Structure 1
Amino acid sequence: MTSTSTTSLPELDTAAVVESIADLVGANYVFPDVARQLAALLRRRGAKGSYRAGTAEELAEAVTADLRSVNGDLHLALKHHAAPVPPERGAAGLAEMRREFDASLCGVPRVELLDGGVAVLEIGPKMFPLDWAAQPLAAALSLVAPARALILDLRRNTGGDPDTVAFVCGYLLDGRTHLNTMLSRQGELAEQSWTPPFVPGARFGGSKPLSVLTSGNTFSAAEELAYDLQQLGRAEVVGEATRGGAHPREGWTVHQHLELSVPVARAVNPVSGTNWEGTGVRPDVPCDAGAALDRALDRTVARLA
């Protein structure tokens, strides 16, 4: 078995892999009606020989296209990993995130003070698991706490841990605040997200000017951070509409090089009563992502003046 992107399908039991994917989607996808449609589609396409591609990577692309063909859920995917991935549930995604964490200054690649006492804090490329990210985030958020205003840059952030979203919000809001509710596949309450009652270090607080920068690549948990702060009236979102993925997902290893991502719940914001699935977070100040920092800085300086 090779560990390159040219893993050939004769080394796979393709029919068994596709059947396991259909089973997992049918049993776990957050919308049962769509889950049944997708499981039937995968089995029908498999029976027709539609997945007889040459590589595992091509299989991942074909299956992902079919998974997204019913309702466009961008969290539904069959992900190809060039290196072999561990078999434990969720382990493949964590291993990939750990490599990104170690290469990105622990998820805080930029902390800077600009003219006029305006701080810029970039969080990315992920909202990393809180047990990894709490210390560097606490240090960065405490460092910008004395600033007159803050610009939070999420333009390169593609998602991660909702607990980390709540942790960050704890520094940007006053008092314990309800951020999000997760409903299960059966429509029952699965979990609520609140800001923590205590955060280490200094808070920026809930009254000074706050802007959030977004791009068309901002996704998932990063979208939640922008959406939560926007819906609470705490932040002005500047930039591009985000990708539109609101459903929390779990991952299953279905082959040594393939990980299935399936949304297992849906988010309901306590202010809007809905979420950003399919629509993205709509900016308060639309502009190209590359111009978002300058636009936010100009507006912030004018507000402070």
Structure 2
Amino acid sequence: MRLSTGILGWLVLSTMAAIGCAQAAAATPAALPPSSGGPQMAAPEAPAPRGPDGPITAAERDAAIEALARELTEKYVFPAKATEVVRAIRARRKRGEYDKIATGHALATTLTNHINEVLRDAHFHVRYSKEPLPPRQDNARPSAEELARYEQFSRRANGGFEKVERLPGNIGYLEVRGFAFPGRGFEAATAAMAFLAETDALIIDLRRNGGGAPEVVAYLCSYLFDEPVHLNDLYFRPANETRQFWTAPVPGKAYVGREVYVLTSKKTGSAAEEFAYNLKNLKRATIVGEVTWGGANPGDLVRLGDHFAAFVPTGRAINPISKTNWEGVGVLPDIEAPADDALRVAQVKLLERQIAQATDPELKASLEERLRELQPQ
């Protein structure tokens, strides 16, 4: 869910948060912190400030801190963690640790880092905007102007689908830059999978994909199965409800009976990680590349005043197979490779498999020639 900030970013993030918090399917008990079984990543650092900085008054600083404390208390997915955080930042405030902070970016960065010493939540962050942020009531619909800007963003991003082609060896290649655009994203996925329907294997590139909406993840996953499959659940604390995501019938041919490779990097985040994690646990794809970003807690962008906002994770992913998620650990690749080399590595693996199975001498020679071209010099 990491997209550009400012007014357009506010619109996009707000819309995506609303998508992620759609009405849940069934109630569950209160969520417990995930147990990943693997080493935890370091506490995430605050994202780099964006947009112009500006001065803040002591009253604005204190109001933002208190608004953030309220939002975390009411909404953060793990209540005990929220209580611990609120106690810590109020103690820092009482000691005067924030008294000398006089600019917006400095306060946003400091609060993000202090709070993530406790939360260690990849999605959580505080942002400052010198331009006043538009007020919005809970569950308010975007304005016509906001929807128009979002539609323009979606069109320019082609629904998040960047590139589709056939590689030598009849290997399909699909680069998805974002899962943020239901509607246009569905259309782009349908067109891409129709083009790739007759390929012998498929590589899905998520190395530059920062996330998006679970609906688009489920839609693309649906092409890779020919029967209903339970992909993921999202639990949300505010309503104490869980929403299930399953594969569903899609237009065109199902892409089954063929290998699928998914490319990842350290920048593969959020919903893109879900896509990789779903297929890894279902043993439907081989993951090639780097350990991913490590963010599995969706939520809401909340307004903390005229100039501050925070992304507060209100939910968490619960995989039906692992019963946990990738928060703090990322998705571990099946084949580790530097991100820049992941596509070549995946092609080599697929070509080697095709060569071993080839019975036609001319086809085998052609594949072997392509394989030699991919080998490091």
So what's the TM-score if we normalise by structure 1?
A: 0.90
Q: Which of residues 285, 290, 298 in structure 1 aligns to 2:348?
A: 298
- State how far apart, in whole Å, the 2-side matches of 1:255 and 1:30 are: 22
Indicate whether 1:28 and 2:78 are aligned. Answer: no
Tell me if 1:76 matches 2:124: yes
1:287 matches 2:337? yes
Q: Secondary structure at the match of 2:275?
A: helix
Deviation at 1:98, TM superposition (A): 6.2
Secondary structure, counterpart of 1:68 in structure 2 = helix
3-state SS in 1 of match to 2:126: strand
AA of the residue aligned to 2:182: L
Aligned partner of 2:316 among 266, 288, 294: 266
107-116 or 97-106, which deviates more: 97-106
Instruction: Report how far residue 187 of structure 1 moved.
Output: 10
CA shift, 1:243, in A, is 1.2
- Is the CA contact 2:133–2:306 (under 8 Å) kept in the aligned structure 1? yes
> What's the secondary structure of 2:245's corresponding residue?
strand
Report the CA distance shift for 1:303/1:79 in structure 2 as closer, same or farther (over 3 A).
farther
The whole-number CA distance in structure 2 between the counterparts of 1:123 and 1:136 is: 10
Q: Name the residue aligned to 1:171.
A: 223
Aligned twin of 2:289: 239
Give me the whole-angstrom Cα distance separating, in 2, the residues matched to 1:94 and 1:65: 33
Once the two structures are TM-superposed, the CA of residue 118 in structure 1 deviates from its matched residue by 0.6
Counterparts in 2 of 1:179 and 1:53: CA distance versus 1, 3 Å: same
- The Cα offsets for residues 117-146 of structure 1, whole Å up to 9 and x where unpaired, read as 11110111x211313422122212222122
TM-fit CA distance, 1:102: 4.2
Letter in 2 for 1:134: F
Residue 78 of structure 1 aligns with an amino acid whose one-letter code is V
**Number of residue pairs the alignment of both structures matches:** 300
Change (3 A) 1:82 1:282: farther
Q: 1:194 aligns with which of 237, 246, 255?
A: 246
Counterpart for residue 60 of structure 1: 108
Query: Identity percentage over the alignment?
Result: 35
- RMSD, aligned CA: 2.6
Aligned equivalents of 1:148, 1:212: Cα separation in 2:
15
Aligned to 1:172, the other structure's residue is in SS state coil
Aligned counterpart in structure 2 of residue 122 of structure 1, from 170, 175, 186: 175
Q: Is the 8 A contact 1:5 1:55 kept in 2?
A: no
Q: Matched residue of 1:116: which SS? A: coil
Contact 2:171–2:202 under 8 Å retained in 1: yes
1:6 Cα deviation from its structure 2 partner: 1.6
What 5-or-longer segments of structure 2 have no aligned partner?
1-6, 8-50, 356-377
Report the CA distance shift for 1:139/1:80 in structure 2 as closer, same or farther (over 3 A).
farther
**d(CA) in 2 for partners of 1:40 and 1:95?**
42
Larger displacement relative to structure 2 (290-299 or 137-146): 137-146
1:70-123 alpha-carbon deviations (Å, 9 max, x no partner): 1311111112346544332587x9999767534433311111111011111011
- Note the alpha carbon deviations across 1:268-287, whole angstroms, 9 max, x for none: 11111211111100000001
- In 2, Cα distance between equivalents of 1:96 and 1:154: 25
Q: For 2:169, what is the secondary structure of its paired residue?
A: helix
Q: Is the contact between residue 180 and residue 216 of structure 2 (CA under 8 Å) also seen in structure 1?
A: yes
How far apart in 2 are the matches of 1:303 and 1:85?
A: 54
- SS for the counterpart of 2:273 is helix
CA contact (8 A) 2:276 2:331 kept: yes
The structure whose Rg is larger is: 2
8 Å contact from structure 2 (residues 108, 128) kept in 1 = yes
Q: Structure 2 vs 1, CA of residues 158 and 81 (structure 1 numbering), >3 Å: closer, same or farther?
A: farther
